[in-house]
Amino acid sequence: MKPTCLLVKRAYSYSGENRIGFLSYRGRGCGVAKNFKRQFPRYKDLAPLLKFKLPSLPSRERRLSKALTIWDLRALAKKRTPKGPFDYTDGAAESEVTLERARRAFLDLEFRPNILHDVKGVSLECTVLGEKFAMPVGMAPTGFTRMMHSEGENAVARAAAKFGIPYALSTLGTTTIEDVVSAAPDGINWFQLYMWKDRDASMQLVERAKKSGVKNLILTVDVPVAGARYRDTRNGLTVPPSLTVKTLIDAIPKPEWWINFLTTPAISFVSMKNWNGTVAELLDFMFDPTMTFEDLKWIRSQWDNQLTVKGIQTIEDAKKAAECGADAIILSNHGGRQLDRAPVPLHLLIDVKKELKKELEIHLDTGIMHGADILAAIALGADFTYIGRAYLYGLMAGGQEGVERALTILGTEMLRTMKLLGVNSLEELEPKHVRLLPTHAGLGTLPGVK
């Protein structure tokens, strides 16, 4: 008896018209002619495929090697860090839409590559404020860094020095500028200043930075009052973290963080004595709401090295900062942690560059989670960029090695993107390589955000 095969046809509707679609073959002997011959697996064929490994204990190196993106590091950080410190890093002000918009701005753009270019000699080197760096990105100042991981600021400074980029210590640091410089003597260490109500105390910090060899003072100007960071308020975050029933329960799945916390020197705000209130209360106590451009001029007169003004969010203020003698400005909304629904730095960049041309250097931060984000900013006119959360996710995931992993990820992404764009140097990047798409172009949920 010969095999039988039934061709089943089904009618379906397409654009209002009837079509005939071949659905399947059914019956004995159905199918196309055999194009292969079955055989029992042979050991000589299987042997090269057998890649069994002996079980090994979890290790920091192994854990970090599996992180392919900054978002992967964020996921690791969330698993290994108590809720309070993680949310302090990860969160933003009020609705947190400012941070989301800044990140999405880098997704809502289109790269335009040039093909058939020799790109075997790609370099990420750049010269910023008279210094040569290996990549166009620096480590932004972040407060309370030892709260994220006990290795803290020293780990970040050492990683930055290893990768040939600058590290900026925050006024709200948990390590002194002297100790940071001692930990990374070959690095480029900058200092970020919040102007306190106590001006003499502020300038004492500046003097200490100068004696330590700091050549770039970063003055943050967008903090007349602390932003409303609801995650911190709900968590009752204090520095150092308080031991409560809630935090102890949270500690159970994160033993390494707590062991480090309890067996290393106390986390303290090194620029003043420990504060007994919440972080939000501390910031409101310190920040000076009376600061004006006249104060900026005064600081310029007191500081004879490079001066960078951080927190510029309008063209008008960018021009005023230039008139006050700033050597560089940082277009920044403080990582989305101050004014809710603040301007997106990337969107502001083109107009500021057009207005100021080469009067001073234009730097940018907020929202950078990929090496291509950095290149987009450079192409659109930025001279330099900064990361904050990106390296803190690495720090929380694995100390100094985690920070180095973050920089390796970003560097690899930059090199690959430059080759795909057909450019060999940052100088070759131009606005023609990037087109900004309509805001919120429907790219879906940001990676890693639920």
Catalytic sites, residue numbers? 334
Rg for the chain, CA atoms, rounded: 27
Q: C-alpha dihedral over 348, 354, 360, 365, to 10 degrees?
A: 20
From residue 158, give the alpha-carbon distance in Å to each of 29, 92, 168: 69, 27, 12
Pick the closest to residue 189 from 162, 213, 208 (CA basis): 213
Pick the closest to residue 386 from 223, 150, 239, 216 (CA basis): 216
Burial zone of 145 (CB within 10 Å; 0-12 exposed, 13-18 middle, 19+ buried): buried
From residue 367, give the alpha-carbon distance in Å to each of 32, 103, 371, 424: 53, 4, 11, 25
350 within 8 A of 381, measured Cβ to Cβ: yes
Instruction: Please report the sign of the dihedral spanned by the C-alpha atoms of residue 348, residue 352, residue 355, residue 358.
Output: negative
Instruction: Please report which helix (H) or strand (E) contains residue 255, including its range.
Output: helix 255-263
For 274-299, give one letter per residue: b (16+ CB within 10 A) or e.
ebeebbbebbeebbbeebeeebbeeb
Token couple for 165 = 């980029």
Pick the closest to residue 133 from 170, 163, 168, 169 (CA basis): 163
Pick the closest to residue 366 from 162, 102, 36 (CA basis): 102
Pick the closest to residue 166 from 347, 393, 405, 407 (CA basis): 407
Token couple for 214 = 């700091």
Token couple for 108 = 């809502």
